[in-house]
Every structure is written in C-alpha cells, then in structure tokens.
Structure 1
C-alpha cells in the first residue's frame, strides 16, 4: 500500500498542537501578542503589540494602568505567547515530515474566519482544505496529487444557522476583505442580490454552503449567524452530521471544524456521481474518487475500516438512490480499494 503511517512522535506532536490550539481560544489576546509596561509620571501602564497580519503590523494598543485584573489578563496572554512559540516549533516539525500545509492566502483566510468566530458558530471547513487535515488527524502521509486546491469551502447546517442565538459581529464578506480588500461577492445565477461565492482576482474563491431541506432547489438561502448567503446542497446534511476539530498548519496553527474522515470519504463517493462526464466537472469527479480511495486505504492502515463501513451502512439505509450512487462510484475505485471496503456488498 502507498499510504504510510506517521511515526508515533509525529502523531503525538499533532495531538499536542490541537490541544494547544484549544487552550489558545481561552486567551484574551491574539496568539503571538507581546506586552510592554511603560512608566509614565511614576505610574505603570500596559501596552500590547498584536502580531503582524495580512494588512501589516497593527499599531501598539494601549491596555490601561497596571491593575491586578489587567495583570492577570496579561499573564494569560503571555502564556498564550509561549504556547504560540511552542506551536510554531511543532508546526515546523510536522511540515518537515511532509504533512500538508495551506498556501499563504488560505491560511490567512482560515485565521481570519476563526478569529471572527465562524468556527465557534459551528461553521465547518469542507472540500480539499478539510482533506489536507486528515493527514495529521489520522496519522498518515497523503499523496500530494489529492491535496491541491485553489479555494475554500465553508459549510453550516441550516438548522444551526437559524437556531443558534449568536452571530458574527461583521459580515462574512468584510472578514474576507480584512485579508484581501479585492474580495467581491459573485451574484448568484438565480438572484442578483444574493451571493454564495466570494472571489478575488486570479480566480481564488470562497464558497459558502448549507444543507438542503426538502426538495432540491437552486435558490440561495441566508445564514443569519454567519451573515452571508449560502447555496443549499443535497447530501450535505450527511456530511455535517458528525464533525471533529483539527489543526491547520498555518504560521501558528488554526483550529477548525471538519467532517469526520469516514463521513467525508462516503460523501465524496456519493457526490462524485453528480459531476458531469466532461471538462472541469469530470476532473472534480476524479478528484472526489481519488480522495475517497486514499482515505479508505488510510482507514485500512489505521485499522479503522469498521468505522468507515458503519458510516457506509448508514448511507445505504437512506434509500435506493443512495445505494445506486455508491455502487456507481465503487466501479471507479481501484480494485484493491474496493476489496478493502464493503461498497459492493
């Protein structure tokens, strides 16, 4: 088999990175902030220098006079700075071992979305960016051909979007424009006033997706908690049913929500049958099947095929149409991968 398991030390390092990122979310200051106390007219005042972002180095921020409460907050921030340094060291070792890392723009977008609260509000990274994180999550090396991407897909369950009593402070578009002011909404084909895609010059896209309730429909819907429109997609409810947290290997790491790898693999087999047979869509279908095959092989290496087959059984129980799509996609898998799974049983 082509899939190789990572050394235990690297698997442990990835788990430690994820734990450090979870702890960082409790800090009062952005990761990497530094602090300075100034003496002015005999009194002590604290200032914070937040880390350099996509728009450059922000101005130093005045925090206030030296009080017990502020000192406690700064102590948490200094601990977060130490954690950030530790995360950088771990990330360097993971990258050196060949784990996938996002391009600079994708990393900046994910960090901005995380900082704004998108993942706190149960936004989920789907698509190839999510697939990249399965290397660390599963503890394996993934082939490079299956992890290349030029966009970001963010999904949120529609029931969560309208039911959660919280929302972003600013619009989804404004968050993207903090990274690159050239991001613009792309009007949806069915509505000139709605946008589910945001693009910048060069073709980079951020797509927002949501679950489809009832009959198939093309019209976008509004996600009030994320302050954006989204395109409803069939089968997305199956993908988002179970999610986990994962670490993206950006500069200091960013914690995101992703579908479980078993659910991702089954979903990719299903949606590969929705692609057209020519052009770009055919290439996407090939990529869907390749990613599913890679994960099935990884499940075998990690002795997790039972987990995959349990999710597969759930999909088959959803009806004849689901079973037919899985059988069709199974025919496109390499023979050795079909034998590993129970797709044709």
Structure 2
C-alpha cells in the first residue's frame, strides 16, 4: 500500500511530546535531588540521588545511558516541572490527526509499568503496542487493522537485568494489581512459583520475554530487576539491540522504550517463519508479515533505506539459518515491498 506522511506540524508535535516526556521523567523527583554521571566500561550512565526522607536516604537510582537528549532533559528537570496540561493538548492533537492510541486498560498498564520504573530499567515494549508507536516515530499513517491488540508484551535483555543492580520496588504482579486486582499469574509447567505471564478475566495478557543466545530452553528465567520470570526466546537479542524512546498516547503521555522500527520489521519476518514450526495460528504469521511490510514501506517512504540495509546485513551475517528465514519470509511480501526488499537482501548476501 502507499504510505502517506503525517503533516509536518503533527510530526513536530510528536517530537515535542517526547521532549516534554523526557523532561517530565527527569523532573519527577523531590527538590534537592542530585544527578550524577558515571562511566562504566567506556560508556556513560546517569544516576539520581533523592534527598533523605522520613524513612531515611533512598538508594541511588539508575536513569539511563548518557545522550545529548538525556543531558538536556536532566538540566531542564533541575529547573522546572513538566507541564502536564500542555502534554494533554499535544496528545489531543495527535489523536485527532489519526495517531494510534492504546485502549484504556493498556494505557493504565503501561502507565503503571512506567511509574514502577520498568522502562527506566531498560524494559522494552515489543509486539503490537510497540508497532503503534511507529506512526509517530516515522511520521506516517498506519492502518488500524495492523495495530489492534489486547495484550502487552514486555521484554528485557537478560544481561541488562542482571547488570543493572537495581529493581522495581514491588513484584511485577503487584504493579499489575495496582491497575486491576483481578490480574493473576498464568500457571507454568516449570513450577508453581515460576511466572512469566499474567492475565485477567476476558483474556487480557501481559507476557514477559527475555533473550536467549544459547540452545533453546523451555524453562523461564528470572529477571531480577523486574521481579518476574520471563520466557527466553531466540532472535530477541537482535530485536532489543539499539532500542529507541517513543511516546504512548495515554492520558498524559508515557515515555517507553521500543525496538528500532527497522529491526522490528526484520524480526517480524523471522518470527513469521517460526509460527508454523511452533503450531501457532496462521493469522499471527499473517499479522507479522503485514506489520513488517508496512514498516518496509514506511522506511522507504522516509528515505531510510540505509537503516534497513544495515540491520539486514547484521541479520544475514549471523548465519545461514537467519538468511534462510529471511528469504522464505520475503516471498510473502507484496510486489511493491518485495522488489526493493529482495534487492537489499541479495546485496547483503552477496555483499
């Protein structure tokens, strides 16, 4: 399909919303909080120390990797609080322009995860909720049939979860129960105390995923920073590399982490080939292909062919299994998507 771009004023408004959410994230601390930058293994990271309160001095908290945007947000956070009413006005304009918004329950869940520190601790939204954010990030219109969902998929790199040395205050189940007391853990065959998914009446689910770079495993693994278990999946480390910040259009807006759109597209093609092997429905594979194709169209429309080439090169260089899956999946793309995509794939293969 032909991808249409959003008006420039809407693209600018979305960028402004992300800027304001960064300010809000850095300014949402008591007066007297101090920010510190530390260098670990050659990279710079920001931390915040809140002042001593009635229960004593809280531990220093991790904010994230040092970037020009984060430094600017921290400076703004030192001077002023973000204007929530201003964000609401921007969000109303974005919704009126057709940008996707989550349903009320999903908004509440994402807000609760953000308030608990899940995204600050480098948790990442994946799946269709992440796909919804790409309309704003890429400045394009996405069809409603590709963005409907009733679930939240949350992921975190296992190495990150162990290395952060900090965790959310309450178990993930308690965070979800703060939204709806009917949330319950989904029983696991690995044991009664192993939980990697949560559900509520009506079938709404929150699934937690993590990376697995070794042999396939059935048993979930524990993510200490998120206080939950998670299903370890192959190929997920590729998806979670170089994540980007995005705005979810909840009531006041929520700053989240999502995969880079070009990685999401390539990963969805790979995942589509796994559906048949795992016995999942063909409808899920169709949705994978549809979302990948739309993002390929959008990336070309926004002149980001080079970004797609880079992540394709990385994927095919990971081995013949990766290349085989991508070649198989690309056959299901429509003609407009397939021609430029297979051209890129052939270049990276022969490269």
User: Counterparts of 1:77 and 1:198 in 2: how far apart (Å)?
Assistant: 37
3-state SS in 2 of match to 1:98: coil
User: Counterparts of 1:78 and 1:26 in 2: how far apart (Å)?
Assistant: 10
3-state SS in 2 of match to 1:230: strand
How many residues end up aligned between the 2 structures? Answer: 301
User: Counterparts of 1:178 and 1:282 in 2: how far apart (Å)?
Assistant: 35
User: Counterparts of 1:340 and 1:249 in 2: how far apart (Å)?
Assistant: 32
Partner of 1:274: 274
User: Counterparts of 1:326 and 1:190 in 2: how far apart (Å)?
Assistant: 32
Partner of 1:210: 210
1:300-319 Cα distance to aligned partner (Å, 9 max, x none) = 11000111111011100000
Instruction: Check conservation: 1:221, 1:230, Cα contact below 8 A.
Output: yes
Q: Scaled by the length of structure 2, what TM-score is found?
A: 0.82
Partner of 1:248: 248
Tell me whether 1:80 sits opposite 2:85 in the alignment.
Answer: no
3-state SS in 1 of match to 2:303: coil
Partner of 2:322: 322
Partner of 1:13: 13
Structure (1 or 2) with the greater strand fraction = 1
Partner of 2:152: 152
User: Counterparts of 1:106 and 1:238 in 2: how far apart (Å)?
Assistant: 26
3-state SS in 2 of match to 1:246: strand
User: Counterparts of 1:143 and 1:27 in 2: how far apart (Å)?
Assistant: 35
Query: Relative to 1, partners in 2 of residues 1:325 and 1:278: Cα closer, same or farther, differing over 3 Å?
Result: closer
User: Counterparts of 1:249 and 1:315 in 2: how far apart (Å)?
Assistant: 32
Q: CA RMSD in A?
A: 2.0
Query: Relative to 1, partners in 2 of residues 1:199 and 1:78: Cα closer, same or farther, differing over 3 Å?
Result: farther
User: Counterparts of 1:222 and 1:146 in 2: how far apart (Å)?
Assistant: 32
Partner of 1:55: none
3-state SS in 1 of match to 2:327: helix
- CA drift at 1:145: 0.7
- CA drift at 1:277: 7.5
Partner of 1:111: 111
Partner of 1:338: 338
3-state SS in 2 of match to 1:193: coil
1:113-152 Cα distance to aligned partner (Å, 9 max, x none) = 0001000100000000000000000000001111000100
User: Counterparts of 1:278 and 1:17 in 2: how far apart (Å)?
Assistant: 40
Q: Which has the larger radius of gyration?
A: 1
3-state SS in 2 of match to 1:188: coil
User: Counterparts of 2:18 and 2:283 in 1: how far apart (Å)?
Assistant: 33
- CA drift at 1:343: 3.2
User: Counterparts of 1:207 and 1:27 in 2: how far apart (Å)?
Assistant: 30
Matches within 5 A, 1:64-143: 80=81, 83-143=83-143
Partner of 2:176: 176
User: Counterparts of 1:126 and 1:289 in 2: how far apart (Å)?
Assistant: 16
3-state SS in 1 of match to 2:245: strand
Query: Relative to 1, partners in 2 of residues 1:118 and 1:12: Cα closer, same or farther, differing over 3 Å?
Result: same
1:157-194 Cα distance to aligned partner (Å, 9 max, x none) = 00011111111111000000000000000022333321
- CA drift at 1:238: 0.3
User: Counterparts of 1:272 and 1:178 in 2: how far apart (Å)?
Assistant: 34
1:78-132 Cα distance to aligned partner (Å, 9 max, x none) = 9536x11111001000000100000000000000000010001000000000000
- CA drift at 1:279: 8.0
User: Counterparts of 1:122 and 1:190 in 2: how far apart (Å)?
Assistant: 26
3-state SS in 2 of match to 1:194: coil
3-state SS in 1 of match to 2:81: helix
- CA drift at 1:212: 0.5
Instruction: Check conservation: 1:239, 1:267, Cα contact below 8 A.
Output: yes
Q: Which runs of 5+ in 1 are unaligned?
A: 31-62, 65-75
Q: Which runs of 5+ in 2 are unaligned?
A: 31-52, 55-76
